[in-house]
């Protein structure tokens, strides 16, 4: 029995969920699940009304409703603000409703009889933002997804929020039930840790400063263990380790926790560090804030110890090919004895012009063994190819050279084929791929040396270069509709059914409504391995047809789009921070290791 379009769409979504696909990591989960809500929640939409319970001043509890008119109908956000106690306590909202339906929402049940009346937007904004600042000031747990629903409010400068109407005598009046104990966050930290200046010296970082950096990191770790982040931590743990509570490898578990503290995107948006700033900003020196903010830039790699220095090590990361001075934050108890020539795999973060260890690391002693050294350099060559993000991190020169290399390849592709798209069967494309590779290696000459890459290899190694045969998936080789695309950023891409993809946008009337068209267009759109390039090409060639096709599937599959950029933001957000498809290796020893693999 043939499957309906709805069944196929449901199956695609089920596959995406099963595979753990989560492309739009910078977007809160609730908005990823409901793109229409994402579009509706915007403070630029016209204001319809602001409502508040009439007796909020009498009882010290305010229910604030803000309604706006979005293209898809009325959208509103509701906020429960405990003015005398814990501040912003609960949030909710919806779209496509009217004012009467809002007033009947279960969110309003249990209030002490006050009617909802119109109020000034300024009062509504002051109460909601005041409740947010008040909760953070006194370390009360904020409601989940509060940032999502606050999108209907115009942004405010937190330093200018007036708190005189909150609490009693400047302090919260809290009566907490047994069920609400988790609303109170952990004990406050020693403010001196954040307020004291960070001492530095010209030649080295003193031991007391290294210990101080460790203390600051500890406060951040302790903050991450507050009840506010429990659900985020559990979701991240299950995503990483599945049903296991934790991995057997202790180092892997430590590094997961370090990743969660420094890099994990929370369900409500932002990171632990962002929340930490919001909570302790008024207690933090500027240099301490800059230090902690720098910890978002984690450098993961395979490092070689080049030398020992006072209290630390001079190392080279073989993945991004950058040298660093790295220090442990507890020099009285060194992490492990490392010597010149040893290696380690680990994480480091910037700290006042140098770097410190972050999380656990795996030492790899050299012990004078050339075989170990060769293996490490071959591993580095492989890791650069497999993880361009790490290979190009914190190295502007390497990034620039890699972009130039992709552009040269694009020009070579045009010169060889006369166009930037080549079509054929899977086997024909494999041959085209091999022919183009041979052209680059055996025919193109370096403008400086006059040698081809094959001649340079033979000159360096004394051996003739034997090109590897391309290994392509059997499914692709059996396909009759395959294309090889070359892009000045993405480099080379092989796509199945690309010819059919183009035909759909060339003649929508002929193909829309067929199951094969839906499978191809939505398959391309939802794929994690197909970039934005095919969509940008058809949008440029067939702008009217592009709109027709996308509008059709938007209605069929229930997503919202206002054009190409909205579509790419929703389905291909990684395309806005795209890395080049070629990683240039600048270190000659690593380059040699890559050739010898």
CA distance 199 to 212: 9
First-residue to last-residue Cα distance in the chain: 50
**Is a pLDDT exceeding 70 seen at residue 190?**
no
Report CA-CA distances (Å) from 326 to 14, 42, 306, 312, 380. Answer: 45, 44, 11, 6, 19
**pLDDT given at position 181:** 44
pTM of the model: 0.69
- Residue 31 CB neighbours (<10 A): 20
pLDDT per residue as tens digits for the range 24-46: 334 455 565 666 777 788 888 89
Please state, in angstroms and rounded to a whole number, the distance separating the CA atoms of residues 125 and 3: 50
Share of the chain above pLDDT 90, in %: 49
**Res 178: pLDDT:** 42
Cα–Cα distance for residue pair 263/246, rounded to 1 Å: 19
Share of the chain above pLDDT 70, in %: 85
d(CA 461, CA 594): 13
The pLDDT of residue 39: 77
- Of 60, 59, 77, the C-alpha closest to 68 is 77
pLDDT score recorded for residue 350:
94
Most confident of the following: 8-12, 136-140, 574-578: 574-578
Gap between the Cα atoms of 410 and 413, Å rounded = 5
- The pLDDT assigned to 35 comes to 67
Q: Which residues contact 89 (CB under 8 A, 6 or more apart)?
A: 80, 81, 82, 131, 135, 143, 183
> What pLDDT, on a 0 to 100 scale, did the predictor assign at position 206?
78
Question: For position 107, what pLDDT does the model report?
Answer: 57
Digit-coded pLDDT (tens) for 104-123: 665 565 444 468 899 999 99
- What mean pLDDT, rounded, does the chain reach? 85
Which residue in the block uniquely carries the two structure tokens 């790419």? Answer: 568
What tens digit of pLDDT does each residue of 200-246 get? 655 567 788 888 888 899 889 988 988 888 888 998 999 899 877 78
Q: What span, in angstroms and rounded, lies between the C-alpha atoms of 540 and 357?
A: 48
Q: Is the pLDDT of residue 407 over 80?
A: yes
Does residue 1 or residue 48 have the better pLDDT? 48
Residues 341-391 pLDDT 10s: 999 999 999 998 899 999 888 899 887 678 888 899 999 999 998 999 999
pLDDT at 334: 52
Question: Can you give the three-state secondary structure of 278-327, one letter per residue?
Answer: HHHHHHCCHHHHHHHHHCCCCEEEEEEEEEEECCEEEEEECCCCEEEEEE
The continuous run of DSSP H or E covering 91 comes out as strand 87-95
Higher pLDDT, 429 or 339: 429
532 has a pLDDT exceeding 60: yes
């Amino acid at each position: 029995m043939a499957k309906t379009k709805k069944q196929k769409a449901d199956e695609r979504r089920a596959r995406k969920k099963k595979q753990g696909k989560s492309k739009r990591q910078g977007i809160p989960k609730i908005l990823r699940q409901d793109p229409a809500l994402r579009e509706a929640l915007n403070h630029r939409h016209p204001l319809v009304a602001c409502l508040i319970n009439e007796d909020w001043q009498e009882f010290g509890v305010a229910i604030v409703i803000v309604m706006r008119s979005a293209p898809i109908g009325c959208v509103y956000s509701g906020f429960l603000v405990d003015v005398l106690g814990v501040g912003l306590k609960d949030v909710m909202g919806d779209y496509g409703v009217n004012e009467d339906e809002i007033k009947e929402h279960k969110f309003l049940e249990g209030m002490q009889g006050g009617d909802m009346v119109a109020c000034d937007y300024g009062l509504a904004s002051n109460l909601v933002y005041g409740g947010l600042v008040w909760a953070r000031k006194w370390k009360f747990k904020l409601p989940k997804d509060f940032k999502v629903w606050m999108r209907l409010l115009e942004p405010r400068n937190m330093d200018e929020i007036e708190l005189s109407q909150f609490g009693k005598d400047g302090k919260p009046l809290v009566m907490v039930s047994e069920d609400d104990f988790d609303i109170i966050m952990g004990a406050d930290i020693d403010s001196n840790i954040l307020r004291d200046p960070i001492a530095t010296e010209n030649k080295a970082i003193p031991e007391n400063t290294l210990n101080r950096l460790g203390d600051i990191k500890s406060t951040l770790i302790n903050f991450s263990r507050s009840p506010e982040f429990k659900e985020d931590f559990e979701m991240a743990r299950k995503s990483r380790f599945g049903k296991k509570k934790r991995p057997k490898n202790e180092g892997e578990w430590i590094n997961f926790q370090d990743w969660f503290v420094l890099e994990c995107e929370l369900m409500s948006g932002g990171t632990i560090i962002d929340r930490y700033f919001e909570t302790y900003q008024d207690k933090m020196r500027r240099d301490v804030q800059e230090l902690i903010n720098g910890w978002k830039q984690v450098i993961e790699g395979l490092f070689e110890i080049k030398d020992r220095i006072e209290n630390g090590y001079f190392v080279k990361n073989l993945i991004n090919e950058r040298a660093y001075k790295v220090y442990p934050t507890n020099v009285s108890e060194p992490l492990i004895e490392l010597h010149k020539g040893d290696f380690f795999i680990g994480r480091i973060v910037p700290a006042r012009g140098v770097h410190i260890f972050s999380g656990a690391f795996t030492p790899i002693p050299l012990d004078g063994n050339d075989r170990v050294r060769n293996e490490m350099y071959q591993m580095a060559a492989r890791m650069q190819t497999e993880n361009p993000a790490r290979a190009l991190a914190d190295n502007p020169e390497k990034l620039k050279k890699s972009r130039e290399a992709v552009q040269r390849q694009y020009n070579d592709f045009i010169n060889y084929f006369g166009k930037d798209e080549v079509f054929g069967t899977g086997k024909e494309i494999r041959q085209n791929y091999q022919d183009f590779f041979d052209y680059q290696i055996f025919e193109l000459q370096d403008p400086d040396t006059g040698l081809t890459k094959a001649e340079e290899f033979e000159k360096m190694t004394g051996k003739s270069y034997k090109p590897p045969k391309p290994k392509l998936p059997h499914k692709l080789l059996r396909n009759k509709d395959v294309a090889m695309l070359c892009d000045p950023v993405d480099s080379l891409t092989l796509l199945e059914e690309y010819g059919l993809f183009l035909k759909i946008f060339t003649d929508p009337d002929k193909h829309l409504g067929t199951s094969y068209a839906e499978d191809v267009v939505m398959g391309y759109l939802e794929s994690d391995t197909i970039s934005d390039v095919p969509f940008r090409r058809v949008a440029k060639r067939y702008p009217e047809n592009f709109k027709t096709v996308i509008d059709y599937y938007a209605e069929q599959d229930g997503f919202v789009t206002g054009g190409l950029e909205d579509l790419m933001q929703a389905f291909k957000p990684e395309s806005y921070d795209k890395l080049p498809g070629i990683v240039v290796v600048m270190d000659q020893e690593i380059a040699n290791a890559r050739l010898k693999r």
